[in-house]
Chain A
């Protein structure tokens, strides 16, 4: 493992080991709750979050991004539940506002270039300290997942039915949306704004093709996320390509393979 001799590669490898199970896990409910468009809008909203941080100056772009993403996610959830307009329309409105507002502020004074790192992302730039906070987030998400997954699953099946089982729909949705928002916000600088949503959709989309139970669904989703993460990083290193993009391409490949295998697995 010659490539692991470099410190930045070691860190990147550890980062992939932490990020991919996180995305594999969240992915299951993003897909089951039909939130692919929602998580995509989080990426768009991130433009505004970063720009506010840069313009205001009191807080770092990162803090501003996390804060803004959570507010953004909760706002969408709230309006979605209160309004009779269709969900994709509401998300579309937020998404386009988020990206336009962000671009407007970023381009102010011609300073757009310093943000371009966020578009592609660079997992090789991760520091040991950041690895520590990633680990913390991973543990937190797994704990919350353990506590509220059952409710989320019922909700994903049918909202009225969930209500009849005494589940607070808006609270559950809100917690999940905020959780996805935080994970997206902190991973954006390593994965890249443009492709982060694929990591939230592809693993579970692939897993759905070949699983029959909730346990299989999780195992395959997390497994495929990790496999594409590790192999993507190695390929990217050897051929000198963007790691995030390579990981996504491999995830997509896994999806198409599972699609072909579907008739063999799904009863």
Chain B
């Protein structure tokens, strides 16, 4: 289905320099004799949100770390820009699981940004990028948090700050590892709204790991079910109706998606958008005009 490179016509006219196609081919990660996952093939489009779901230990986080290049793996990561050319290394933004973040350290939000964005030793000199940081934080509705200590942020606030950081510089691919686990409903909505904004306005490819199947059903364009490899993938509708998904998640999908009225409306809505704007081979005929 989504195996071919495609031309992407959405974006800022002809000047679309953003990555528009990412292909993960035959990714396999082994630690010693233990296979974490094998033969993972993924095709991620720009402006699309791909959700990776699966039980604990399925290899989801490891997949992200393999994409980051942190873990040695076999298989290749290919990416091409709007014109279908090889563009070298894509910029990858990464938001780690927030529980794995050391929040007890005496670091302010400004410290965190400055340390990532400049070579100026922040332990000695005042930050020179305060304005820039404020702008970044505004994007995720967190401008008032600039002088707060990381440990004093709530889960949702920290997650938005980390997202703002991952967006600076603006990445080609955004990797989110369970970004909203433990975040309340309000924070959840803000977070997904920001993601949607990024998909639409920055034309960014987003890969998200989540256990919140209801949210996935509402917001994802593509869902990948992993369990030591890709079990099945497709639109949320396809994956959630697949018998293998039901077997792995049991009652969860039955209650959460199939009978959750709002979930369905969203799936339909997303599907429509997908057909109009994505430019993937299946919908290429239908395309031609901008969204």
Q: Which residues of A line the B interface, CB within 8 A? A: 28, 32, 84, 145-147, 149-150, 153-154, 156-161, 163-165, 169, 207-208, 211-218, 266-267
Among candidates B68, B106, B111, residue contacting A164 with C-beta atoms closer than 8 Å: B68
Interface size class of B (residues with CB under 8 A): 35 or more
CA distance A159 to B65 in the complex (A): 10
Stretch of B76-84, B91-99, B274-282 contacting A (4+ beta carbons < 8 Å): B91-99
The CA of A208 and the CA of B106, in the complex, are separated in Å by: 6
Residues of A within 8 A of B116 (CB): 150, 154, 165
CB–CB A153/B93 < 8 A: no
Residues of B bordering A, CB below 8 Å: 31-32, 64-65, 68-70, 92-94, 96, 100-102, 104-108, 110-112, 114-116, 118-124, 148-149, 151-152, 162, 166, 175
In the complex, the answer to whether A157 meets B101 with C-beta atoms within 8 Å is: yes
Query: Given the known A-B contacts A164-B94, A208-B104, A208-B106, are A149 and B121 also in contact in the complex, defined by CB atoms under 8 Å?
Result: yes
* Extra inter-chain contacts (18) besides given A149-B115, A158-B100, A218-B123, CB under 8 Å: A145-B121, A147-B119, A147-B121, A150-B114, A153-B107, A154-B115, A156-B105, A161-B96, A163-B68, A163-B94, A164-B93, A164-B166, A164-B175, A169-B70, A213-B110, A213-B149, A218-B124, A266-B106
Which residue of A28, A158, A164, A211 has the most chain B CB atoms within 10 A of its CB atom?
Answer: A164
Residue in B closest to A169 when the chains form the complex, CB atoms = B70
- Interface contact B107-A214, CB-CB below 8 Å: yes
Q: Can you list 11 A-B pairs, Cβ within 8 angstroms, ordered by A?
A: A28-B123, A146-B124, A149-B115, A149-B122, A150-B116, A160-B65, A160-B96, A212-B149, A213-B111, A214-B106, A215-B124
**A158 close to B101 (CB less than 8 A):** yes
- Cα(A101)–Cα(B11), bound, Å: 65
**How many whole Å from A52's CB to the nearest CB in chain B?**
33
Q: Please, how many angstroms separate the alpha-carbon atoms of A155 and B70 in the complex?
A: 13
Cα A128 to Cα B5 with chains together (Å): 70
- List the count of A-B residue pairs having beta carbons below 8 Å apart: 98
* Max chain B C-beta neighbours (<10 A), residue from A32, A215, A218, A267: A215
Specify which chain B residues have a CB less than 8 angstroms from the CB of A213 in the assembled complex.
106-108, 110-111, 149
Shortest distance from the beta carbon of A82 to any chain B beta carbon, whole Å: 10
Which of B108, B118, B121, B162 makes the CB contact (< 8 A) with A212? B108
Query: Is the Cβ of A150 less than 8 Å from the Cβ of B149?
Result: no
Instruction: Report whether A214 and B94 are in contact in the complex, using a CB–CB cutoff of 8 Å.
Output: no
B123 touches A214 (CB 8 A): yes
Complex contact B106–A207 (CB within 8 A): yes
Chain B residues, Cβ within 8 Å of A28:
123
